[in-house]
Amino acid sequence: MSSNGTPGGFALSCAVPLATTDRVLLGHGSGGKMTADLIARYFLPAFRNSYLERLDDQAVFNVTGGRLAFTTDAHVVTPLFFPGGDIGMLAVNGTVNDLAMAGARPLYLSAAFILEEGFSLAQLGRIVESMSLAAKRADVLLVAGDTKVVDRGKADGCFITTSGVGMVAHSREITAAGARPGDLVILSGAIAEHGTTIMAARADLEMESPIESDSAPLHELVLDMLEAGGEIHCLRDPTRGGVATALNEIAGQSSAGIVLEEESIPVKEPVRGICELLGLDPLYVANEGKLLAVVAPEGADKILAAMQRRVEGRDARVIGRVVDDSDHLVVLKTRVRGHRVVDMLQGDQLPRIC
């Protein structure tokens, strides 16, 4: 972290007077003393590690030769705090999970903050603390960062872009293009919890049974699945656009069709109730702690058993299979024995869900 990465040296080596403001000021993004103060007060204490402490423009670390996974995600969720999590936890877990979907072990993260002038420093502190806990839980180090401040009315409180690198220890090819007819589609648990929670929070719904975001790191689950034997062809975390969109991506990329069994797709009762109230189809609602795996039928039971042994995969089950289909459709066999084509998400059902 430095004047560009994020400044700077001064913060550690001199006594920086504590800012007397409880709000983000434009000067906090200047790259000068106030930025150094912000880093010394908020970012370094939360994320302290030997890479970040160098306060250089970049982190330098050793890697063994092999395959590296690299990913990025901007996070613009509103509200910033919601039942079960906040933007900080989401930003860490989202990037961890994008690495996990390659079967990588996540190692290092970066975080770039865009803050609106006037944003509460107390809220920033809570967000950073939450990121720190999520990083510890996922056993990743936040090693590089940046802070920019934009004038009032030119952002919405706090946006966070996280990027990450991880090592891929296995030599398998896991990609959305890897599904083959005959493969089984496994879902790791009940769907639509994150998106429904966000929409309920925005609508300020009173709920009998409170629901929570499912935001969680999934890399340990994936590493166990890889250990189990069997052939994993695709992995996807069905975030924005939900299960329907993720499976359409797999079908399109793999030039195959997918047939789903509606009754095997778990949706918890309170989630289903709120979806009905808000007119949402759970298949299109974002998840932040679930994964879809497309696996060869032989060995699928071993993968499923490995998933069910972990809390993140306790409710894992087969929800469908890959078929030959020149139209690359995703088709849902409904409870009433009908068929419905499940298309990709159209339009903007759920903006700013992550």
DSSP 342: -
> Which is closer to a second copy, CB of 216 or CB of 251?
251
- Closest distance to a second copy from the beta carbon of 257 (Å): 12
Q: Which of 237, 290, 293, 313 binds a second copy (CB under 8 A)?
A: 237
- Closest distance to a second copy from the beta carbon of 207 (Å): 25
Kindly state whether residue 328 participates in binding a second copy, applying the rule CB under 8 A: yes
Is residue 170 within 8 A of residue 103, CB to CB? The reply is: yes
Is residue 133 within 8 A of residue 96, CB to CB? The reply is: no
Kindly state whether residue 146 participates in binding a second copy, applying the rule CB under 8 A: yes
Is residue 228 within 8 A of residue 170, CB to CB? The reply is: no
The window from 170-178, 211-219, 273-281, 309-317 that contacts a second copy (CB under 8 A) reads 170-178
> Which is closer to a second copy, CB of 84 or CB of 166?
166
Q: Give the C-alpha separation, 151 to 29, whole Å.
A: 10
- Closest distance to a second copy from the beta carbon of 200 (Å): 19
- Closest distance to a second copy from the beta carbon of 235 (Å): 9
Kindly state whether residue 346 participates in binding a second copy, applying the rule CB under 8 A: yes
- At residue 94, what is the residue type? G
In the range 45-74, which residues lie near a second copy by CB under 8 A? 54-74
DSSP 147: E
Q: Which of 87, 97, 132, 321 binds a second copy (CB under 8 A)?
A: 97
Distance, first Cα to last Cα, the chain: 25
- Closest distance to a second copy from the beta carbon of 115 (Å): 10
- Closest distance to a second copy from the beta carbon of 162 (Å): 8
The window from 197-205, 237-245, 316-324, 331-339 that contacts a second copy (CB under 8 A) reads 237-245
CA 350 vs CA 97, 119, 241, 252, 343: distances in Å: 20, 24, 8, 23, 16
DSSP 120: B
The residues pairing with 165 across neighbouring beta strands, listed in sequence order, are 70, 108
The residues pairing with 112 across neighbouring beta strands, listed in sequence order, are 146, 161
119: its two tokens: 């944003």
- Closest distance to a second copy from the beta carbon of 233 (Å): 12
52: its two tokens: 């970040």
CA 90 vs CA 44, 327, 341: distances in Å: 20, 35, 31
> Which is closer to a second copy, CB of 162 or CB of 308?
162
In the range 261-320, which residues lie near a second copy by CB under 8 A? 284, 286
Q: Give the C-alpha separation, 304 to 306, whole Å.
A: 5
Q: Which of 29, 84, 85, 282 binds a second copy (CB under 8 A)?
A: 29
Q: Which of 161, 202, 273, 297 binds a second copy (CB under 8 A)?
A: 161
Q: Which of 129, 156, 212, 315 binds a second copy (CB under 8 A)?
A: 156
Q: Give the C-alpha separation, 323 to 30, whole Å.
A: 56
> Which is closer to a second copy, CB of 82 or CB of 284?
284
